[in-house]
């Protein structure tokens, strides 16, 4: 790893990028795992409830199974939009700086403002 890449880890924009990713990924992962475990547990222990016919030959278990696929695609769509709006512009800026060799000291924060999330891509003073 080059000096510029190491210096980039201290850049407040890089820290903001990691924080933005974490803020989306952890809650969404926990919510999906809870939803999936609910489906699995109910399929195993609430068979009578899951076998309730909703219409035709569609029961609650089948509906839950289909909703798993729909929620997976929904999460992917939401993440794609979130990444395009909140992650991609900043990550592109940081990548360009690394590729051009501009990051070897540009935008590296002092200890007192390192935790502040920049509201604009260039707010960090780069």
Residue range 87-103, pLDDT digits in tens: 999 999 999 988 887 65
pLDDT, average across residues 22-26: 96
**Per-residue model confidence (pLDDT) at position 1:** 62
**Per-residue model confidence (pLDDT) at position 117:** 54
111 has a pLDDT exceeding 50: no
Q: Exposed e or buried b for every residue in 1-30, given b needs 16+ CB within 10 A? A: eeebeebbeebbbbbbbeebbeebeeeeee
pLDDT in tens, 40-86: 999 999 999 999 999 999 999 999 999 999 999 999 999 999 999 99
């Amino acid at each position: 790893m080059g000096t510029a890449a190491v210096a980039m880890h201290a850049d407040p924009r890089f820290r903001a990028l990691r924080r933005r990713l974490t803020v989306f990924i952890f809650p969404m992962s926990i919510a999906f795992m809870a939803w999936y475990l609910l489906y699995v547990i109910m399929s195993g222990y609430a068979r009578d409830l899951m076998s309730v016919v909703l219409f035709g030959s569609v029961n609650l278990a089948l509906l839950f199974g289909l909703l798993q696929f729909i929620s997976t695609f929904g999460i992917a769509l939401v993440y794609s939009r979130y990444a395009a709006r909140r992650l991609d512009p900043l990550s592109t800026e940081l990548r360009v700086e690394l590729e051009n060799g501009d990051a070897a000291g540009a935008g590296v924060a002092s200890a007192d403002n390192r935790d502040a999330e920049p509201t604009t891509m260039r707010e960090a003073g780069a």
